[in-house]
Structure 1
Amino acid sequence: MPTKKIVLSLFFLIFLVLGSVIWGQKKLNSYLNTPLVNQPTLFTINNGSNFHHLGNNLLKTEIISDLTWWKVLGKLHPELINIKSGTYQFEKGFTLNDILMTVNKGIEHQFIITFVEGSTFKEWLPILNNAPFMKPLQETEAQILVRLNSSYEKLEGLLFPETYHYSAGMSAFQIIKKSYVNQQQILEKLWADRDKTLPFKTPYEALILASIIEKESGLSADRDKIASVFINRMRIGMRLQTDPTVIYGMGDRYDGRIRSKDLREETDYNTYRINGLPPTPIAMPSEAALYAALHPSTTKYLYFVSKGDGTSYFSKSLREHNNAVQKYILGK
């Protein structure tokens, strides 16, 4: 009889232990897999933080409501305690398991920063310096060029305009370097495959013209014809006479209008007054504009005028061009 009682007692004890283990596992699974995040949330883990710090910070930010199972979790799942510092985005519906997997793998949130085609370095600066979680520029334009080992005097045109991704703590210079390398690679590739009859001595000259094409083209389909106008003018020694270069040369004085006196002003960029190309690009050209500069259409056009709908009217003679100006600009 005593032996039977002992067996029953052991059986009951085992049953209690197994029941407790099963109950505990269910509670832990619930703790790990219950959705906690109601909306996308940025969360930063500082350098030197450990699993204990993470739990306290999750509690402070009310992502979790208690730490009852936190230590148990750390003991039973040691693979989840090796957290990495960084800024993460916890998406809506994230569970604690999702959070821990994200910070253990170091899948930091990728912020985006966009530079549009035809924008200038002056327009890039506030975008870079006001980007969230990015270290602003500390260098001048001249210092940046030195760091890039560039022999040019201005960054204008040397940076490729597109959308870039970055993680928290990245510096604005890193974005500039990446965009600089991208532009150099694209220009090198297109230059190698260029029309060899073009009147360019260097890739930089092609970059300058591409920036003008970018500013002049309201419709992408017109780029190659606009390029042909400028190439045709360069071949016969005719001035480019393009308004965007005048505007660039005016700098902060430009108020949205170009007056006759502005066209007569002697600046390094006024292509109504200078022969050939201006000394530097006037904007950041796209790959499409670079391609157009190096693969223009074969035409006899020497003029073009905006039709007001994003397209342009192209002319071979000044007379035809003047008629187009009367029709599309002056409305006569």
Structure 2
Amino acid sequence: MRRFLTLTLIVILFAVVLAGIRLFGQWQHFLQAPIAEHSESVVWLAPGSSFRTLVRQLEVLGLARFDWRWRLYGRLEQPVLQAGEYELEAGMSAVDLVDRISRGSVRKHRLTIVEGWTFQRLRRVLADDPRVRSTIADLDPAELMRRLGCAGCSPEGRFLPETYFFARGVSDFDLLERAHTAMQRTLDEIWAGRESDLPLDNPDELLVLASLIERETGQSGERARIAGVFVRRLESGMRLQTDPTVMYGLGEDFDGRLRRVHLTTDHPWNTYTRHGLPPTPIALPGRAALEAAAHPAEGTALYFVSRGDGSHYFSDTLDEHNAAVDRYIRGRP
């Protein structure tokens, strides 16, 4: 009988050891094995989400089951989870994921503000982006600019076109504030290094001129040449006579086709009827357009006309310009 009991105890002990080894192996596999081996998935944690909420999302994605390993890990580590959107990369383990969430390494999205956009279009893009939290829908432009620290400024042209990275849930105001700060910093820098003899009185006028260059330029290599034409016209007292200013001033009344009556109807942005720069920028100029406005190319051209392929033909005289218009616009030999 004693021998039987001894043998039984040995068998039980052996079974316990084997079970312990098996459980230890499962635990080590849990700590090291990837959750997702191939596909990439995303989890979203709202503020105050629990560890169980995280695992429940993984269960929905088919990547985990709330078994004893997850329970033990949660009790041992007691991780503090930060709200946000997190990306599960291929090969990432459970430990890697929880560590990422504890550090708040949220997934980054990108928004590219394109050169030549108007402020109205930028605002519409932000309003339509589901990743961005809307906070300025009821703000008029004047109040928005006041909150951005530029009371009395037109919002047009005041946001630097470039790519901005952000976490899901960022507010539209925060993105605009970043773009506005970037534009102001860039404008101040370029104004400080401008050519000394420009017919411009302040950085705001440089911003306006850059917006005209941005809207007229089809090929990047022509920015400085177009800037040179505008600067020589300002210096000589000629009207700028640039179509994009007329289109901008027409606003929603512009149907996509510029007519002669538009060029002769006076409004503050009509550079065919008024001398000098328009009262505000007409678009968001990029850094290259700002640099061109600050460093226009030397030359004698006073006119340019589109060739229809994105490039322009530059002329010194009105007769030469009219001939170029006949050739490239009217299709006359």
Q: Same fold (TM over 0.5)?
A: yes
The corresponding residue for 1:36 is 36
Task: Kindly state the Cα deviation for residue 212 of structure 1 after the two structures are TM-superposed.
Answer: 0.3
Aligned equivalents of 1:18 and 1:34: distance in 2?
27
1:76-115 to 2 correspondences below 5 Å: 76=76, 78=77, 81-115=79-113
3-state SS of 2:169 partner: coil
Aligned equivalents of 2:23 and 2:80: distance in 1?
23
The corresponding residue for 1:212 is 212
Structure 2 unmatched ranges of 5 or more = none
The corresponding residue for 2:125 is 127
The amino acid of 2:223's aligned partner reads: R
Aligned equivalents of 1:203 and 1:19: distance in 2?
78
1:229-268 to 2 correspondences below 5 Å: 229-268=229-268
Task: Kindly state the Cα deviation for residue 61 of structure 1 after the two structures are TM-superposed.
Answer: 4.3
The corresponding residue for 1:199 is 199
3-state SS of 1:25 partner: helix
Contact 2:142 2:152 in 1 (8 A): no
The amino acid of 1:230's aligned partner reads: F
The corresponding residue for 1:27 is 26
The amino acid of 1:148's aligned partner reads: L
1:180-329 to 2 correspondences below 5 Å: 180-329=180-329
Task: Kindly state the Cα deviation for residue 17 of structure 1 after the two structures are TM-superposed.
Answer: 4.8
Contact 1:59 1:67 in 2 (8 A): no
The amino acid of 2:21's aligned partner reads: I
Structure 1 unmatched ranges of 5 or more = none
Q: TM-score, normalised by structure 2?
A: 0.91
3-state SS of 2:68 partner: coil
Task: Kindly state the Cα deviation for residue 57 of structure 1 after the two structures are TM-superposed.
Answer: 3.4
The corresponding residue for 1:143 is 143
Task: Kindly state the Cα deviation for residue 18 of structure 1 after the two structures are TM-superposed.
Answer: 4.5
3-state SS of 1:63 partner: coil
Alignment: residue pair count: 327
3-state SS of 1:281 partner: coil
Contact 2:114 2:161 in 1 (8 A): yes
Alignment RMSD (CA, Å): 2.3
Aligned equivalents of 1:192 and 1:208: distance in 2?
16
Task: Kindly state the Cα deviation for residue 249 of structure 1 after the two structures are TM-superposed.
Answer: 0.4
Contact 2:142 2:151 in 1 (8 A): no
Taking only the aligned residue pairs, the percentage that are identical comes to 37
The amino acid of 1:318's aligned partner reads: L
2:191 is aligned with 1:174: no
1:62-73 to 2 correspondences below 5 Å: 62-73=62-73
Aligned equivalents of 2:88 and 2:221: distance in 1?
43
The amino acid of 2:49's aligned partner reads: S
Contact 2:34 2:90 in 1 (8 A): no
